[in-house]
Amino acid sequence: MQNQANNMHLLSFDPVNYPQDDKGLRMIKYDGNDTPFVAENCAVYNEDGTATLKYYAPKAKQVQLRYRLHNYKFSDPEYRKDPSFYSKDYVVEDMELKDDGYWYITINPGAGFHSIYFIQDGVPVINTHGPSGYDGFSVRNFIDIPDDPDTELHDVSHGSLTREIYFSNVTHRYRCAWVYTPASYQTSGKEYPVVYIQHGGMQDEVCWFQSGKIDMILDNLIAKGEAEEMIVVCNNGYVMVDQGDGTYTEGRLDDVIINECMPYIESRYRVKKDRRSRAVCGLSMGGGHARRLGLAHPDVFANVGMFSSGECFPTKTYDVDFTELFSDKDKFNEYMDVVYVTCGDADPRYDKTVADLKPLQESGLNIEFKGYKGQHEWNVWRYSAKDFIKKLFK
């Protein structure tokens, strides 16, 4: 049976399914009559690992599907030697129109999470009957071919997601944070450690739950005893400060998280408030945010995870100098519990990240690096987050 989590996103948890008539139309009872009603699931996962997609456009002249062919399972470390490979690794294939008015295609992009793009008569469109979510500063369709059981829905106790809204004096606007609380939170009365997790560039605060499935991962790891119970908070990584003349400048996320979001969360949730009970992590742009939040504020966070960070792992950046923190290995290793850096082995960032870390690791700093199969993509970030979570708060 298809796992329910594969098509799940924040706007649709339980796809509506009806029996089909001999024309493939869904049937419902309406005023005592059988009435054709189109409520199709337009992303079907087949037993052979392929996915069959369809798009309703009976009057279209052409419908095509654009997707990446060589990510995750079909990737190769050799790809990272070509910095332009990531931007050009797409295929566009024609879909086939059938009598029911749907255009069909079956693809085999390999297991895992894949963004897909429908093109109708040359114009990119969203398939409103298929899984969709926010990424690339817009809504896009995706498919999620089962790979890791920990991202799927199982018969375990499930945590809750809550949207919290708080006012920011930095941006002079209200901001949103999504908060995961473990299944025991409502009844235990105890305090929990907390992870602040950041999304990547062109994403937003829902992405770690929508695409990253971090709530499913935590439910399953906690149920198996492979992770401690914890609270997870995801904020928007963009801090746009209105200059009053119609222009905006980029503010500092650490000002928002540490001075505004954390006090708000700690006033509303039973969270432990010591630094060893706090962690911060993020992907891509969020990996850079995690470095600044965690390593620039070691008095606040003792655990830091950086996944596929765009800036890799420099000792100095335009706004932060980590030289003093990295200069005393004994102090660093005593102060920091987990510092975990990852990257996809086909990601152009991989070699620079390894090179940046090498002198720090050789000097004795306890910084762990792990490469995962894949490019700059959610399949890498899911596994990165899962392994980071397993290390925390022991």
Q: Which fold has domain 160-391?
A: Rossmann fold (3.40.50)
**What pLDDT sits at residue 129?**
83
* Domain ranges across the chain: 4-147, 160-391
262 pLDDT tier (thresholds 50, 70, 90): very high
Q: What is the mean pLDDT of residues 178-195?
A: 97
Q: Where are the alpha helices (DSSP H) in the chain?
A: 85-88, 185-188, 207-210, 214-223, 253-256, 262-268, 285-294, 323-327, 329-335, 350-362, 378-391
How far apart are the C-alpha atoms of 139 and 134, rounded to whole Å? 4
Dist. CA 315–CA 321, nearest whole Å? 6
* C-alpha to C-alpha distance for 265 and 235, rounded to whole angstroms: 11
* pLDDT given at position 381: 98
Tokens (6 digits) for 384: 């990165």
pLDDT at 35 over 70: no
Inform me whether the pLDDT recorded for 2 exceeds 70.
no
Sign of CA dihedral 273, 275, 281, 287: positive
**What's residue 243's pLDDT?**
87
User: pLDDT digit string (tens) for 97-137?
Assistant: 999 899 999 999 999 999 999 999 999 999 988 888 899 99
* Residue 206 Ramachandran class (φ > 0 left, ψ -120 to 50 alpha, else beta): alpha
Quick one: pLDDT at residue 305? 98
Instruction: Indicate the pLDDT class of residue 8, thresholds 50, 70 and 90.
Output: low
Residue 254, classed as helix, strand or coil, is helix
Residue type, 138: S
pLDDT, residue 146, reads: 84
Q: For position 36, what pLDDT does the model report?
A: 47
- 187, amino acid identity: T
Q: Was domain 4-147 assigned CATH 1.20.1250.20? A: no
pLDDT more than 90, % of the chain? 81
Round the average pLDDT of the chain to a whole number and report it.
91
Q: Is the pLDDT of residue 156 over 90?
A: yes
- How is 7-29 classified by DSSP, letter by letter? G-BTTBSS-----B-TTS-EEEE
Which pTM value belongs to this model? 0.92
Distance CA 130, CA 41 (A): 6
- What was the pLDDT predicted at 18? 47
- Per-residue pLDDT of 326-351, as tens digits, reads 999 999 999 999 999 999 999 999 99
Beta bridge partners of 165: 176
Length in residues, the chain: 394
Task: List, for residues 347-373, the tens digit of each pLDDT value.
Answer: 999 999 999 999 999 999 999 999 999
pLDDT, one tens digit per residue, over 56-105 is 999 999 999 999 999 999 999 999 999 889 888 999 999 999 998 999 99
Bigger pLDDT: 218 or 45?
Answer: 218
CA distances from 11 to 6, 130, 133, 232 (A): 14, 11, 8, 20
Does the pLDDT at position 27 exceed 80? no
Tokens of 148: 């890791």
Quick one: pLDDT at residue 268?
A: 98
**Mutual angle of helices 214-223 and 378-391, in 10-degree steps:** 40
Structure tokens at 66: 């654009």
Average pLDDT over residues 165-169: 94
pLDDT at 1: 39
pLDDT band at 143 (very low <50, low <70, confident <90, very high): very high
Q: Are 309 and 349 in contact (CB under 8 A)?
A: yes
Strands 368-372 and 338-344, bridge-based pairing? parallel
pLDDT for res 12: 60
Confidence of residue 15 (pLDDT cuts 50, 70, 90): low
323, 316 Cβ separation under 8 angstroms: yes
